[in-house]
Amino acid sequence: MASGSIDPMHQFEVTTLLPIQLGNYDISFTNSALFMSLSVLLVTIFLVGSTRGRALVPGRWQSMAEMSYEMVANLLRDNVGSAGRQYFPFVFTLFMFILFGNVIGLVPGTFTFTSHIVVTFAMAIIIFLAVTVIGFVRHGAGFLRLFFPHGAPLWTAVILIPIELVSYLSRPISLSVRLFANMVVGHVLLKVIAGFVIMLGVFGFIPLGVLVGITALEFLVAALQAYVFTILTCIYLHDAIHLH
Amino acid sequence: MPQFEQIDTFVGQIFWLIVTFGVLYFLMAKVALPRLASILEERENRVSGDLEKAERLKQEAEEVLTDYQKAIADARASAVAALKESADEIAATSAKRQAAFDAQLSEKVQIAEDKINAARSEAMGHIKNVAKDVAAAATSKLLDTDVTDAKLSKAVDEALGEQN
């Protein structure tokens, strides 16, 4: 980090808060773990606290909790159908976890755990493996039909199967990189423009205005990326359950 | 970029990801989602229950309205019947009175006629005697013959009979 300038990558640094060693593995409680825990805590407070009254006519918070429930429930029903009901807790947890991770990360000085490829990739690969297992459990070897569309001429298999295979195998990569890249780019952009505000001195109000706009945009991106991650998970589930 | 440089933190991040996600999954699956589901279900039941109740009350109100209209119609019908009955009664009474009056009247007329007839026949009897006397006197004066009483009577009767 050059002296006097702002390092836009500094915000992504994982710092150890409480060193923990388990055998040969370093599982220290870091700022990343702290914000994951915070996300869990806030999601729980939001959903459990707001519904404590079990009001027949919901207040604002309960309304929001109900809206998030119904939003994810509709998402799952529209994309997977009734067979997806049993995966609802997982999909809902996924959505809320990522959404809160993204949004908490927008608070200045915080850490965004979804801006780490290892986290997003871990989530993506778990989903990928789970979906593949679900597909094989439900359809056995018939799940392989996913790689060759029904009714296509047999000779096209030479072209179609590799394409389908590659697109299937690249799912965890595209899923994880999309979320990771969006988060990183947004935060870097905010940091760089914030640097301009300081550098320009009096005229810093111009990038400051831009910064306000981009912050609003980043909130949109935070919600949208959580939504996209969830909807893609639903689509993968649909493929595993219904095979196209 | 720390994301690709701090490789030694990868295990820790994945570990905490699994732990925190697991905790959140447990809290959602066991507490938050069942509660939200029950709230939404309860509301739906309540709303549909209220709608049912409203429907039932509406039906009841309609029944009451039908009963009321039926009662009104019945009352009207019985009023018409009562009116007709009393009108008939009045008509019957007046007809009876009329008949009684007519009978009385005709009786009186009869009595009067009888009286008139009696008076008339009496008068006729007198006329007959007078006529007989006149005829006897006239014949005895003009013809100087005495006609028998029987002949006179016959002649007077004939004359009176022609007049009648």
Select the residue from A93, A114, A229, A233 to test the B interface by mutation, using most B Cβ atoms within 10 A.
A93
User: pLDDT tens digit string along A171-219?
Assistant: 999 999 999 999 999 999 999 998 888 888 888 888 999 999 999 999 9
- Locate the domains of chain A by residue range: 10-242
Q: How far apart are CA B87 and CA B104, in angstroms?
A: 25
What is the domain partition of chain B in residue ranges?
46-163
In chain A, which stretches have pLDDT less than 50?
1-4
Q: Which among A43, A119, A184 is the nearest to B24, CB-wise? A: A43
Q: What is the pLDDT of residue A198?
A: 87
Confidence of residue B138 (pLDDT cuts 50, 70, 90): confident
Residue A10 distance to chain B (closest CA, Å): 8
Q: Quote the CA–CA distance of B29 and B45 in Å, as a whole number.
A: 23
Query: How close is the nearest chain B Cα to the Cα of A127, in Å?
Result: 13
Q: Are A28 and B12 in contact (CB < 8 Å)?
A: yes
**What's the pLDDT score for residue A9?**
85
Residues of B in Cβ contact (< 8 Å) with A13: 2, 6
Half-sphere exposure of B124 (CA within 13 A, CB side): 14
Sign, Cα dihedral of A49, A54, A59, A62: positive
Q: Which amino acid is at A79?
A: N
Confidence label for B144 from pLDDT (cuts 50, 70 and 90): confident
**Mean pLDDT (whole number) for B13-29:** 95
| B164 pLDDT more than 60 | no
Residue B17 has pLDDT above 80, yes or no: yes
> In angstroms, rounded to a whole number, what is the distance separating the alpha carbons of residues A72 and A68?
6
What does the pLDDT read at residue A5?
A: 58
Yes or no, beta carbons of A93 and B12 under 8 Å apart: no
Q: What share of chain B is helix, strand, coil (3-state, %, to 5)?
A: 95, 0, 5
Q: Strands A29-30, A21-22: parallel, antiparallel or unpaired by DSSP?
A: unpaired
Please identify which residue in the block is written with the tokens 């047999």: A154
With tokens 């029950």, the residue in question is B38
Q: How confident is the model at residue B155 (pLDDT cuts 50, 70, 90)?
A: confident
What is residue B162's predicted lDDT score, i.e. its pLDDT?
67
Contact A133, A237 (CB under 8 A): no
pLDDT digit string (tens) for B25-57?
999 999 999 999 999 999 999 999 999 999 999
CB atoms within 10 A of CB B57: 10
pTM > 0.80: no
